[in-house]
Homo-oligomer: A and B are copies of this chain.
Amino acid sequence: MGEVVPTSAAVGIDIGGTKTVAGVVDANGTVRGCRWLRTEPERGFEAAVARLIRAVEEVMAEVGLRADQLCGIGIGCAGPVDPRTGRIHNPYTLRGWEDCDVVSPLRERFGVPVCLENDADAAVVGEWWVGAGRGADPVVMLTFGTGVGGGVIHRGRIYRGAEGQHPELGHLQVAEGGPQCYCGRCGCLESLASGTALGTAGARWGWADARAVLAAADEGHPEAQALVRRAVEAAADAAWTLAHTFLPARLILGGGLMAVLYDQWARAIERRWTGATQFRPSSVKVCRAALGELAGMVGAAALGMGLLARPE
């Protein structure tokens, strides 16, 4: 007998500043189909919602999921977002989408429960459900891309702090006198270890972006190597702090930069932990994100399915 293919499924949506992906995910966590589109926030929120609804309709048709088989929709979105009201408020990477209710139009169109989460939280949910964090608790994920995001699972739930806010792990303080960040501090993790940080610092030597800095470092340019070293030091400092705060059983590293840098960074973090006396280094495993660019979409689908407790 073959594997049982669940007939019902959820839709997961991951909205980033540049790209959006909508997919159908079944109760086993299998992605049955997905569709990428440009977010194009500058064309306005309503136009984006219309494109999103069309994309969901198309991917459902593609995988043959009928409306009555859809059990829910989860959305992960570049934050800040408010999971309790379903509103996006992101003046940084979704300029113009301020106080925008993304949940209601989808709920009205599809007639199912719809929930909204921060994209970093959706990603850690995805990895915890069917990726690198499977079976572990607590789980912390750091995502190194344009910025540095993060999310935490603790006791089977998304960790939330005061007033339901979520941890902003990209802004841990890691260095004195580092570059100024929009978070309000100099020397936070993101200001040193994000794609933007590498690109901005590399511009001084004529490198166009983070990719160019990484290529130059590979070719042996000492300035590029110094920038990458500074970034990995910042990541190792942040990992040290996370091991003494959230103390995750798994520390998952993901995001575009990790496609190239994972091995080097994981080694640097593990080296940093040699000689640690205040936690058991063997209890905190560093691992590579397993779901790639689909983590947030898969995690959003898990939330849409109601697999985790809703925000209070």
Contact = CB atoms under 8 A, between A and B. Distances in A.
Interface of A: 138, 154-155, 159-163, 165-176, 182-185, 237-238, 240-242, 244-249, 272-280, 283-284
Contact of A245 (B160, B185, B242, B284): B242
A171 B244 contact: yes
Top 6 nearest A-B pairs (CB, nearest first) are A161-B247, A162-B249, A168-B278, A184-B275, A162-B283, A184-B276
Contact of A241 (B163, B173, B176, B276): B173
Given A175-B176, A237-B173, A278-B183, A284 B162 contact: yes
A241 B183 contact: no
B245 A167 contact: yes
B247 A167 contact: yes
A273 B183 CA distance: 10
Given A171-B278, A183-B276, A165 B240 contact: no
A153 to B, nearest CB: 12
A165 B279 contact: yes
Report copies per complex.
Answer: 2
Given A183-B276, A276-B184, A244 B168 contact: yes
Contact of A279 (B168, B249, B280): B168
Contact of A161 (B174, B175, B248, B276): B248
Given A155-B155, A248-B162, A174 B171 contact: no
Nearest to A185: B240
A240 B277 contact: no
A84 to B, nearest CB: 14
A244 B120 CA distance: 14
A249 B163 contact: yes
Q: Which of A166, A183, A274 has the most CB of B within 10 A?
A: A183
A281 to B, nearest CB: 9
A248 B244 CA distance: 16
A15 to B, nearest CB: 19
Contact of A277 (B184, B247, B273, B275): B184
A288 B245 CA distance: 21
A247 B152 CA distance: 12
A159 B140 CA distance: 14
A175 B285 CA distance: 25
A61 to B, nearest CB: 40
